[in-house]
Amino acid sequence: MGLSMSNATFFFLILLLVVSMPAAPSEDVGTWREPEKSSLLIMNLDSGRVVIELAPQFAPKHVANIKRLTEEGYFNETVILRSHDNYVVQWGKAEVEAQLDSTQESTEAKLDLELFRDIHDVNFQEIESRDAYAEKVGFVDGFPAASNGRQVWLAHCYGMVGVSRGMAPNSGDGSGLYVVTGHAPRHLDRNITVVGRVLEGMPLLSSLPRGTANLGFFDSPQQYIPIREFKQASDSDAESIQVMDTNSKAFKSHVAARTSRRHEWFIEPTNKIELCNVGIPSR
């Protein structure tokens, strides 16, 4: 391993470089991952299937409780009872969620909020972006995340799933859930527990009619949208879903392409990106 090399070696290395450069990054090994079946939930509506990937490394207690409730069939008794324009869709049992919204009585203590991890304990892949709400933004194993340099938390981008709560920080436990359906309400970050992301079926939730009662709740139970089935994913469910690995080279290329819009349609290629405009491809 000296510093000298023959001309032949030199040209071979150049050739290798040239040949390897145009390799399509989307085809590299490890680009796509199948989410772990144990972290996948399926919500069946009359309109189709919604698939949620849970984030146990950020909210282990809530995720464990959601999985327990799912196994017990709890969510089969729940409905979508809120559709708040440019904000969230929420589901749960009407009587439980109504209690959360009561500001008059303190509710029974359930689970403490699970809001962030130490930056050294997670695989935070920072992206180059100037963020309104956080010093740093990026991704952790498939989820958009933000950081102050010490802690890392999941970011309320479109499609992220959180745990509804009332006034008391510990008034939620995952029996009521919401998904972001509008412009990212990032002011919710670090105020409420985020537990996952919708991988498939967002249009079924985001296109629901809006509730016209306060905060986008439906006016009457007749307007509730039934959840026909809520279960852990089967092997075949898991096999049918592939998500781009946010730790892969292909994802880095994806972020770069979303940052510098080189498509000929763009006259101003931007060269900037905001966390929630990156998106994570699925197939």
Q: Which residues bind a copy of itself (CB under 8 A)?
A: 83, 85-86, 113, 129-133, 157-159, 167, 169, 182-187, 189-191, 202-203, 206-210, 258, 261, 264-268, 270, 272-277
Q: In the bound complex, what is the minimum distance in angstroms from residue 8's beta carbon to a copy of itself?
A: 45
CB atoms < 10 A from the CB of 47, how many? 14
The answer to whether residues 134 and 166 touch, using CB atoms and an 8 Å cutoff, is no
Q: Which residues, 6 or more positions from 96, have their beta carbon under 8 angstroms from its beta carbon?
A: 175, 176
Q: In the bound complex, what is the minimum distance in angstroms from residue 170's beta carbon to a copy of itself?
A: 11
Q: In the bound complex, what is the minimum distance in angstroms from residue 39's beta carbon to a copy of itself?
A: 23
The answer to whether residues 198 and 159 touch, using CB atoms and an 8 Å cutoff, is yes
Of the pair 150, 187, the CB lying nearest a copy of itself is at 187
Of the pair 130, 283, the CB lying nearest a copy of itself is at 130
List 42's β-bridge partners, or say none: 51, 231
Of the pair 154, 238, the CB lying nearest a copy of itself is at 154
Closest CA to 111 of 163, 76, 187: 163
166/183 Cα distance (integer angstroms): 22
Of the pair 68, 272, the CB lying nearest a copy of itself is at 272
Could you identify the residue written with the tokens 């008794």?
A: 77
Q: In the bound complex, what is the minimum distance in angstroms from residue 106's beta carbon to a copy of itself?
A: 12
Of the pair 126, 274, the CB lying nearest a copy of itself is at 274
Q: In the bound complex, what is the minimum distance in angstroms from residue 165's beta carbon to a copy of itself?
A: 9
What the block records as the tokens of 268 is 């101003």
233, with CB counted inside 10 A (0-12, 13-18, 19+), is: buried
List 79's β-bridge partners, or say none: 92, 226
Of the pair 117, 186, the CB lying nearest a copy of itself is at 186
Q: In the bound complex, what is the minimum distance in angstroms from residue 262's beta carbon to a copy of itself?
A: 12
